[in-house]
């Protein structure tokens, strides 16, 4: 077990290095003119000034030296955006509360609702409830988040005035306003996932019905409810949970950009979007790393959860 963990850790670190280096390279090479110094100096700078900036920031050094320096700066919090001049860690810390509130809240919401709806559809398989849920989930997976957001904002916030139009209010300022401002974004982000997850869960519950361990549980005389919850659901949740781990990680790393943008949350997704537009390599690198770390950590957590849920993995 310890060897497995260590091997995983080493792979993770290697992957992080590769990911960050590729991103670094892509954005340095892709910069208009290929030189960040020219961007910092601005349009009217003389070649001499550009050269001066190049030397000062170390853009004349070999690429890998630049990479190591940038990474070191990122980790001790002293990295600054070349274009905008803000502290990158500061910008991420400012965006993080909105993104974390959005993603964790929505994540819990979509996980629980899809477990509920998926189980219901499987139990009522082939009947009316199942069909309605199937149609709903199809609508859900076909709905772009920004469109759903726009429709909610127009009808629920603007016309009916039930929810705030947009923006993020910090939890520390007012928990109630925080909650109210996040209801819309939570729904917007969740619908697509609920549609998809509930279908997957329904499928895997139906598949499990024919398994030996389910027949054994029934043969022991367990109640149908107990068979469903303790035996079927327990196994059928596995694919959902591994999906969930990756999706949450991506959403934290800026994957909720569409939701953030339409609801004006100014989170990490928005930061990533602006950074790409401005060719702000350093900020982007930081976000890419954040995403990668989240993905790596979540997949480790998912592995542990697997072991908890599946006795074959735990004992094997």
Partner 1 sequence: MSAISSELSAELPPEGGPAEPDLPAGTGPYRLAWRRLRRNRVSMFFGLVFLLIVILCLLAPVYAQDIAHMGPNAGSPTTQITIGGKTEFVTNSVGVPIGPTWNFSKYFLGADSLGRNEAVRLLYGGRSSLEIGVVAMLITMVLGTVLGLLAGFYRGVTDGLISRVSDVIWSFPVVILGIALATVINVQGLGPLHSTTLMTTAVVIGFVYIPYVVRPVRAQVLGLREREFVDAARQQGLSGPRIMFSELLPNLSSTLVVFVPLILANAILLEAGLSYLGAGVQPPNASWGTMLEQGLQLFPGGFSTVLVPGVMLVLTVMSVNIFGDGLRDALDPRSKVAR
Q: Which residues bind partner 1 (CB under 8 A)?
A: 15, 18-19, 22, 26-27, 30, 32, 134, 138-139, 141-147, 150-151, 153-154, 158, 196, 199-200, 203-204, 206-207, 209-210, 239, 242-243, 246-247, 249-251, 253-255, 257-258, 261-262, 269, 272-273, 276-277, 279, 284, 287-288, 291-292, 295
Residues 89 and 283: beta-carbon distance below 8 Å: no
Instruction: Tell me the angle at which helices 88-123 and 175-208 cross, rounded to the nearest 10 degrees.
Output: 40
Residues 73 and 35: beta-carbon distance below 8 Å: no
- C-beta closer to partner 1: residue 178 or 289: 289
Provide, rounded to whole angstroms, the least separation between the CB of residue 48 and partner 1: 26
Q: What is the dihedral of CA 277, 279, 282, 288, to 10 degrees?
A: 60
- C-beta closer to partner 1: residue 164 or 178: 164
Provide, rounded to whole angstroms, the least separation between the CB of residue 38 and partner 1: 14
Provide, rounded to whole angstroms, the least separation between the CB of residue 237 and partner 1: 12
Sign of CA dihedral 243, 248, 254, 260: positive
Cβ neighbours for 274, distance < 8 A, ≥ 6 positions apart: 280
Distances (CA, A) of 264 to 167, 268, 295: 5, 12, 25
Cβ neighbours for 316, distance < 8 A, ≥ 6 positions apart: none
Distances (CA, A) of 151 to 94, 102, 111, 154, 219: 28, 19, 23, 5, 51
Provide, rounded to whole angstroms, the least separation between the CB of residue 239 and partner 1: 5
- C-beta closer to partner 1: residue 178 or 298: 298
Provide, rounded to whole angstroms, the least separation between the CB of residue 258 and partner 1: 5
Provide, rounded to whole angstroms, the least separation between the CB of residue 168 and partner 1: 18
Query: Please, is 109 exposed, middle or buried when counting C-beta atoms within 10 Å of its C-beta (0-12, 13-18, 19+)?
Result: middle
- C-beta closer to partner 1: residue 179 or 279: 279
- C-beta closer to partner 1: residue 63 or 139: 139
- C-beta closer to partner 1: residue 97 or 203: 203
- C-beta closer to partner 1: residue 178 or 197: 197
Question: Which of 50, 102, 80, 10 lies closest to 285 in space, CA to CA?
Answer: 80
């Amino acid at each position: 077990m310890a060897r497995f963990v260590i091997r995983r850790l080493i792979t993770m670190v290697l992957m992080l290095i590769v990911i960050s280096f590729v991103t670094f390279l892509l954005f340095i090479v892709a910069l208009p003119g290929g030189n960040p110094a020219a961007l910092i100096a601005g349009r009217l700078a003389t070649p001499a000034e550009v050269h001066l900036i190049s030397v000062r920031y170390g853009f004349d050094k070999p690429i890998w030296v630049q990479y190591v320096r940038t990474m070191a700066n990122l980790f001790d919090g002293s990295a600054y955006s070349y274009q905008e001049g803000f502290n990158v860690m500061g910008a991420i810390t400012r965006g993080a509360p909105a993104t974390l509130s959005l993603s964790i809240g929505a994540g819990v919401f979509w996980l629980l609702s899809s477990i509920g709806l998926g189980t219901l559809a499987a139990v009522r398989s082939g009947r009316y409830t199942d069909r309605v849920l199937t149609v709903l989930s199809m609508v859900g997976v076909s709905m772009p988040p920004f469109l759903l957001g726009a429709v909610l904002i127009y009808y629920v916030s603007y016309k009916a005035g039930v929810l705030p139009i947009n923006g993020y209010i910090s939890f520390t300022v007012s928990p109630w306003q925080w909650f109210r401002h996040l209801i819309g974004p939570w729904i917007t982000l969740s619908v697509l996932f609920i549609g998809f997850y509930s279908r997957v869960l329904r499928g895997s519950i139906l598949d499990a019905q024919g398994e030996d361990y389910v027949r054994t549980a029934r043969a022991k005389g367990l109640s149908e409810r107990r068979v469903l919850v303790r035996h079927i659901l327990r196994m059928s949740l596995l694919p959902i949970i591994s999906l969930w781990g990756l999706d949450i990680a991506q959403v934290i790393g800026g994957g909720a950009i569409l939701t953030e943008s339409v609801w004006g949350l100014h989170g990490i997704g928005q930061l990533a979007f602006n950074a790409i537009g401005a060719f702000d390599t350093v900020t982007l690198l930081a976000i890419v790393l954040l995403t990668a770390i989240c993905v790596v950590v979540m997949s480790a957590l998912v592995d542990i959860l697997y072991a908890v849920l599946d006795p074959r993995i735990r004992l094997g």
